[in-house]
Amino acid sequence: MSFNAYLKRQEQTFTSIASCERTVNRFLEWSEKQSIKPEEVTYQDLLLYMKDCQTNGTTQRTVQHYLNMIKHYYNYLVEQGSVVTNPVDMIKVQGVKRKTLYSVFKPEQLHDIYNSFEVNSLTDKRDRVMLGLLVFQGLKTTELGNLIVDQVNLRDGVINVPGGRKSNARRLYFEPQQVMDMSEYVNNVRKVFVEQSDYFKPQLFIGSTGGDNVVNFTHYMLVKLGRHYPGIQNPKHIRASVIVNWLRQYNLRKVQYMAGHRFISSTEAYQQNNMEGLTEEVNRFHPMG
């Protein structure tokens, strides 16, 4: 079985397979220049490769990405019987600020965060809809800002999240309680905001005076939430909780799709610490964890 076939069996996407093969081929070219056979690569050889990458200006996060790809290759060689152990298993790049948490909100807590949000104004109705997309669909703040009205499908109860430079597009279903709130916002609240401000852009989320700075909208929404949930750090905290909860319910590939991750390694990062609460890791560069 070829390495390409191995990756396909792992249900890697076409883009991920192409990226993985390019990275592994660069590593194999480096190994050949060092007169090292792939089957004989050691821990020390990998440290040397990492040092060469760093010398050439490669960031620590990219080095970690390279190692993840090379790890797939050595898992393949282990399966083929060409090597006994995977030398990459011993290595972790530090100095990378990981997407981690001090605590993870459980699904029932996320539901409570949404349901307990007080609505006293038209702006609150908008913020409640935005909050729903954070706690149920795990959207990023930038994704909230990029959404347009036509991407909301109330009939089917779905939202089509567009892809970006660092994320893939996906189609996500609303929770039942979201549909009514979204309908009220799209069909009534947003129209009032448009009439008040002559706003003409297609952005889904706008202000009562016509602005569309979702970062500000989200900030004030979280300030209000903080009165009841002071443990909420930021939108990333909520998103990470959503992804960790998904990993307890769905397989890795499905969660990658739902989260919009381009690479499976991004999804795998949320599996650490047995998904029981994650801690921040910011250390100086050193190859060993």
CA dist 135 → 103, 131, 157, 242, 249 (Å): 15, 6, 16, 7, 16
CATH architecture of the domain 3-90 equals Orthogonal Bundle (1.10)
Tell me the percentage of the chain whose pLDDT exceeds 70.
90
The pLDDT of residue 212: 85
Burial track 170-208 (b if 16+ CB lie within 10 A, e otherwise): bebebeeebbebbebbeeebbeebeeeeebeeebbbbbe
Per-residue model confidence as pLDDT tens digits over 198-209? 888 899 999 988
Q: Averaged over 6-18, what is the pLDDT?
A: 84
Residue 89, classed as helix, strand or coil, is helix
Q: Which of 11-15, 92-96, 125-129, 278-282 has the weakest average pLDDT? A: 278-282
Summarize the confidence of residues 90-109 as an average pLDDT. Answer: 67
pLDDT of 151 reads 98
Mean pLDDT of the chain: 86
* Angle between helix 122-135 and 190-197 (nearest 10): 130
pLDDT at 273: 38
What are the pLDDT digits (tens) for 216-251?
Answer: 999 999 988 888 888 888 999 999 999 999 999 999
pLDDT the model gives residue 199: 86
Which candidate, 4, 6, 2, 96, places its Cα nearest to that of 50?
Answer: 96
Class of the CATH domain delimited by 107-275: mainly alpha
Residue 219: in which H helix or E strand, if any? helix 214-225
Contact 218, 244 (CB under 8 A): no
Q: Tokens representing 180? A: 């009514």
pLDDT, tens only, 249-272: 999 999 999 999 998 888 988 875
State mean pLDDT over 34-43: 90
Residue 272: predicted pLDDT = 57
Note the pLDDT of residue 95. Answer: 52
Can you say whether residue 120 is alpha, beta or left, with left for phi > 0 and alpha for psi between -120 and 50 degrees? alpha
- Lowest mean pLDDT of 89-98, 100-109, 130-139, name the range: 89-98
β-partners of residue 153 are: 158
Confidence of residue 130 (pLDDT cuts 50, 70, 90): very high
Give residue 92's pLDDT: 61
Q: Once rounded to an integer, what is the mean pLDDT over residues 35-52?
A: 89
Distance CA 67, CA 93 (A): 9
Name the token pair of 55: 């010398």
CA-closest candidate to residue 48, choices 66, 30, 60: 30
The domain locations on the chain are: 3-90, 107-275
Contact yes or no for 114/131 (Cβ under 8 A): yes
| Cα distance between residue 22 and residue 207, in whole Å | 45
**DSSP string for residues in 110-121:** HHHHHHT----S
Half-sphere exposure of 229 (CA within 13 A, CB side): 23
Computed on alpha carbons and rounded to an integer, the radius of gyration of the chain in Å comes to 22
| Residue 64 predicted with pLDDT over 60 | yes
Higher-confidence residue: 132 or 220?
132
* Entry field: residues in the chain: 289
99 pLDDT above the threshold of 70: no
